Amino acid sequence: MDPKLIRNFSIIAHIDHGKSTLADRMLEITGTVQAREMKAQLLDDMELERERGITIKARAVTILHEKDGVTYQLNLIDTPGHVDFHYEVEKSLQACEGSVLLVDASQGVEAQTVANAYLAIEADHEIIPVLNKIDLPHARPDEVAEEIESSLAIEATDAIAVSAKSGANVDLVLDRIVERIPPPSGDPEAPLRALIFDAVYDEYRGIIVYLRVVDGSIRARDRIRMMGTGKVYETVEIGRFSPKMKKCESLQAGEVGYFVSNIKQLGDVRVGDTLILDKGPAVEMLPGYAEPQHMVFADFYPTNPGDYEDMRDALETLCLSDSSLSFEPVTSDALGFGYRCGFLGLLHMEIIQQRLEREHDLDMIQTAPSVTYQVLDRHGEEHWVHSPGALPPPDQYEELREPIARVSMLVPTEFIGPVMTISTDHRGVFVRQEHLSATRVQIVFDIPLAEIMYDFYDKLKSCTRGFGTLNYEITGYKADDLVKLQILVNGKEVDALSSIVHRSRADTRGRAVLKKLRKEIPRHLFEVRLQAAIGSKILARENIAALRKDVTAKCYGGDITRKRKLLEKQKAGKRRMRQVGDVDIPQKAFLSVLGGESKS
C-alpha cells in the first residue's frame, strides 16, 4: 500500500474513559469486524485484561477506512492506561505518528491523561482531542475542553464530541485521523528497517513478533536479522491484525503487522530491537527504548521447590512480551530458592503474579513488595539494596536513602483539604498547587515511593470519593531515618517478613504485622513467639499458644487408612506452607503481611 494512504495512531485515555469501547466501535463501523463477532473490548485479549477492564499489553489492529472515495489503512496500536505501564505506552507511541486523546466529558482530565499526553507530545505526535460519553447527563464538554487546553496546552475548541457507546460521531474521528495525522515518513525503497514493539509467545508457532516497518518492506521467506541480539531467522509468515492475525504477502514502509518464524528461544527477541535484512546493506539502528525503571521489587518463591525450573521458564515467557519485567535468582533461609523480580509498580506486580498462577499454573509465595533503597557506605560509595534482607547492619553505612516520587494529583477543589492531609501523613512535602478550571485543581507533592506503595492510592480514592487521580515519576533519592523492621519467629529472623520502614512507623507497622501473623499461623505443638524488632530492640510481641488437645479417640483396623489420610490432609495444604525452623508458616501469612499497615 502507498505509504501516503497509511495512518498509524494510538489512543490515549485514562482507565474507564472508554478507550476500548471507542476501539471496538471503530472496528465495527469500518466493517473490520462484523457486529455479530463483536465481543465487548475486542482488543483486550488476555483473560486478566477483560476481567479487570484494563489494557495491559499493547495490541495492534489494522482498519480500512474510506474517505472521499479513497481507502486508507489505519493502524491502531492500543496502549495501556495505568500508570504502571508507562513504559508500554512509550513503546506503542514510538510506532505511530499521532494520537487520539480521549477524555471523559464528565470526569474531565485525569492525572494519567496528562502524563500520557506529554509522552505523545514528546514523541512528536499530532494530537486529536476527543470528548467521550457526551450523552451522559453530567457531561460538561466545554469545561473539559478548557481543562485540556489549560493542562496540556492543546487546542481543544474543535474537539470532537462522541459517544463511543452508541457510536455517535465515531466516523468523524476516523475522518480526522486521515486529515490530521501525517502519513509515515519512511522510505519504501530503502533497505528494510522495522521496529519490534511487542512480542507474544504461542505454544505452537513460537514467538509472534509485532513490528512496525519504518523503511523498505518485509516479505515471507525473507532472511532477517535482529540487530541487537544478532539472531538470524527466516520469516515463515507475515501478516496484519484485523484484529485476528491475517496472513499477507508483505508489509511495506509505514505498515504495522507481525511475523512468525518458529522462534523458540525467548532470549532471541527483544522489544525495541531493529529488524533488518540479513544480507542487506548496512543501516543505522532505530533509536532503542530507554531501559525501564523498576520501582518495586518482590521475591517469588515456588511453594513446591520442584517448580523452581518451571518458574524460570514461566518468567522467561512473560519477559518476552513484557520487557519491563526483570528477574534474577535469589535464595532465602526461610523460603528456599526463588526469584527477585523487578516491576514498574504494584499493579504490574499483581498482574505478573496472577499470570504466573493462571497461565503457568504455579503456586508461589510472594514477599512483601519493597522499593529499591540506596545505601551510602562508610567509604562514600553508593550501593543498591533491593530487599530488606540485603541491608547491611546500621553501623556499616552512613546513610540509607529511599526513592522519592513527585506525585501529581488531580482532584475536585472541595477535596483539597483531605488530600493535603493524607499527603502530609505519608511524609509528603508540598511542591505546588494549580487550578485547571473553576472546579479542578492539580496538587503536587514529593512523597517517598514506599509510602505510595502501601495504601496511598486507596486513601486518595476514598478521601476524594473516587474522583482523585494520581500520577508519579521518580525524581531522586533522599536520606531519611529509615530502619529495618525485623520479624522474628521463635527468635529466628524471617527475612521474607521483614521490611524497611521509617522509624516513626516501625512500631505501628510491627504491631500490625504480628497481629496478622497471629491470625494466620496455626497452633503448633509448642508455643510460637512472634516479635517485631529493630536490631536488638523489641517493639512488639505476640504469642501463639501451643496446641493443648489434638488426639483421635478411636483408631481401629477398619479405619486406619481413612484416619491417616485425615492426618495427612495437612500435607496437601503443606504445599502452601513454609518451614522456618520448626514452625510451619502458611503462605497466607506471608500474603497477609503484604497489605501493609492495617487500614485505619
Partner 1 sequence: MPPPIPSRAPRGTPLYVHLPFCAAKCHYCDFFSVADEGQDLEGMIDAILAEAHVRAPHAPRTVFLGGGTPSLLPIPLLRRLLDGLEQVTAFRDHAVEVTAECNPESLDGEKARALLDLGVGRLSIGLQSLDDDILRLFGRVHDAAMGLCAYEAARDAGAPNVNVDMIHSAPGLPTRTWREHLRRILDLEPDHLSAYTLTFEEQTRFRTWLEQGRIERQAEEVELLQFAITREACSAAGLEAYEISNHARPGRECRHNLVYWHGEPYVGIGPSAASKLGHQRMGNLRAIPAYLGAIERSGTAIDWLEELSPVRRLAETWWLGLRLSEGVDPARARASAGFEGAGEDPALAEAERLVERGHLERVGERYRLTPRGLPVADAVARTFLTRLH
Smallest Cα–Cα separation from 271: which of 198, 178, 355, 185?
198
Distance CA 63, CA 78 (A): 13
User: Contact, 58 vs 197, CB < 8 A?
Assistant: yes
Q: Which long-range contacts (CB under 8 A, 24 or more apart) does 139-142 make?
A: 139/105, 139/106, 140/105, 140/106, 140/108, 141/105
Please, what is the minimum distance in Å from the beta carbon of residue 571 to partner 1?
4
Task: Report the residue number, 69 or 557, with the smaller CB distance to partner 1.
Answer: 557
Task: Report the residue number, 153 or 560, with the smaller CB distance to partner 1.
Answer: 560
Amino acid at 473: E
Q: CB under 8 A: which stretch of 38-46, 88-96, 141-149, 520-528 binds partner 1?
A: 520-528
Distance CA 273, CA 285 (A): 8
Contact map string, positions 529 to 558, toward partner 1, x by CB under 8 A: ------------------xxxxxxxxxxxx
For residue 108, count CB atoms less than 10 angstroms from its CB and return exposed for 0-12, middle for 13-18, buried for 19 or more. buried
User: Contact, 137 vs 163, CB < 8 A?
Assistant: no
Please, what is the minimum distance in Å from the beta carbon of residue 491 to partner 1?
15
Out of 413, 526, 537, 575, the only residue in the binding site for partner 1 (CB under 8 A) is: 526
Please, what is the minimum distance in Å from the beta carbon of residue 551 to partner 1?
4
Task: Report the residue number, 165 or 524, with the smaller CB distance to partner 1.
Answer: 524
Task: Report the residue number, 290 or 553, with the smaller CB distance to partner 1.
Answer: 553
User: Contact, 250 vs 219, CB < 8 A?
Assistant: yes
User: Contact, 269 vs 229, CB < 8 A?
Assistant: yes
Task: Report the residue number, 23 or 521, with the smaller CB distance to partner 1.
Answer: 521
Task: Please state, in angstroms and as integers, the Cα–Cα distance from residue 308 to each residue in 300, 313, 332, 366, following that order.
Answer: 10, 9, 13, 14
Task: Report the residue number, 303 or 437, with the smaller CB distance to partner 1.
Answer: 303
- Using alpha carbons only, what angle is made at residue 367 by residues 507 and 590, rounded to the nearest 5 degrees? 70
Alpha carbon distance, N-terminus to C-terminus of the chain? 60
Per CB under 8 A, contacts with partner 1 among 171-210 are none
Non-local CB neighbours of 297 within 8 Å, separated by 6+ positions: 340, 341, 342, 343, 369, 370, 371, 372, 386, 387
Please, what is the minimum distance in Å from the beta carbon of residue 533 to partner 1?
25
- Cβ density class 291-321: b for 16+ within 10 Å, e for less: ebebbbbbbbbbbeeebeeebeebbebbbbb
112, three cell numbers? 494519567
Please, what is the minimum distance in Å from the beta carbon of residue 542 to partner 1?
20
Contact map string, positions 579 to 598, toward partner 1, x by CB under 8 A: ---x----------------
Please, what is the minimum distance in Å from the beta carbon of residue 584 to partner 1?
9
561, three cell numbers? 487408612
Number of residues lying near partner 1 (CB under 8 A): 25
Please, what is the minimum distance in Å from the beta carbon of residue 524 to partner 1?
8
Please, what is the minimum distance in Å from the beta carbon of residue 562 to partner 1?
9
Please, what is the minimum distance in Å from the beta carbon of residue 493 to partner 1?
21
What 3-state class would DSSP assign to 23? helix
Please, what is the minimum distance in Å from the beta carbon of residue 469 to partner 1?
47
Contact map string, positions 558 to 577, toward partner 1, x by CB under 8 A: xxxx--x--xx-xx--x---
Q: CB under 8 A: which stretch of 108-116, 189-197, 312-320, 521-529 binds partner 1?
A: 521-529
Smallest Cα–Cα separation from 356: which of 302, 292, 295?
302
Task: Report the residue number, 278 or 559, with the smaller CB distance to partner 1.
Answer: 559
Task: Report the residue number, 285 or 567, with the smaller CB distance to partner 1.
Answer: 567
Cα torsion 283, 250, 208, 81: sign: positive
Please, what is the minimum distance in Å from the beta carbon of residue 518 to partner 1?
18
Please, what is the minimum distance in Å from the beta carbon of residue 555 to partner 1?
6
Distance CA 483, CA 505 (A): 10
Task: Report the residue number, 500 or 521, with the smaller CB distance to partner 1.
Answer: 521
Task: Report the residue number, 461 or 529, with the smaller CB distance to partner 1.
Answer: 529
Task: Report the residue number, 58 or 585, with the smaller CB distance to partner 1.
Answer: 585
Task: Report the residue number, 4 or 523, with the smaller CB distance to partner 1.
Answer: 523
425, three cell numbers? 501523613
Smallest Cα–Cα separation from 532: which of 579, 484, 578, 580?
484
Task: Provide the CB-side half-sphere exposure for 194 (13 A, CA).
Answer: 33
Please, what is the minimum distance in Å from the beta carbon of residue 550 to partner 1?
4
Task: Please state, in angstroms and as integers, the Cα–Cα distance from residue 60 to each residue in 34, 211, 244, 349, 513, following that order.
Answer: 18, 10, 10, 24, 44
290 contributes a contact to partner 1 by CB under 8 A: no
Task: Report the residue number, 158 or 550, with the smaller CB distance to partner 1.
Answer: 550
Residue indicated by cell numbers 520479624: 487
Per CB under 8 A, contacts with partner 1 among 321-360 are none
Task: Report the residue number, 157 or 579, with the smaller CB distance to partner 1.
Answer: 579
Task: Report the residue number, 478 or 563, with the smaller CB distance to partner 1.
Answer: 563
Helix, strand, coil shares, percent, the chain, to 5: 30, 35, 35
User: Contact, 459 vs 422, CB < 8 A?
Assistant: yes
Please, what is the minimum distance in Å from the beta carbon of residue 415 to partner 1?
46
Please, what is the minimum distance in Å from the beta carbon of residue 272 to partner 1?
46
User: Contact, 130 vs 124, CB < 8 A?
Assistant: no
Per CB under 8 A, contacts with partner 1 among 376-415 are none
For residue 363, count CB atoms less than 10 angstroms from its CB and return exposed for 0-12, middle for 13-18, buried for 19 or more. middle
Please report, as ranges, the residues that interact with partner 1 according to CB under 8 A: 524-526, 547-561, 564, 567-568, 570-571, 574, 582
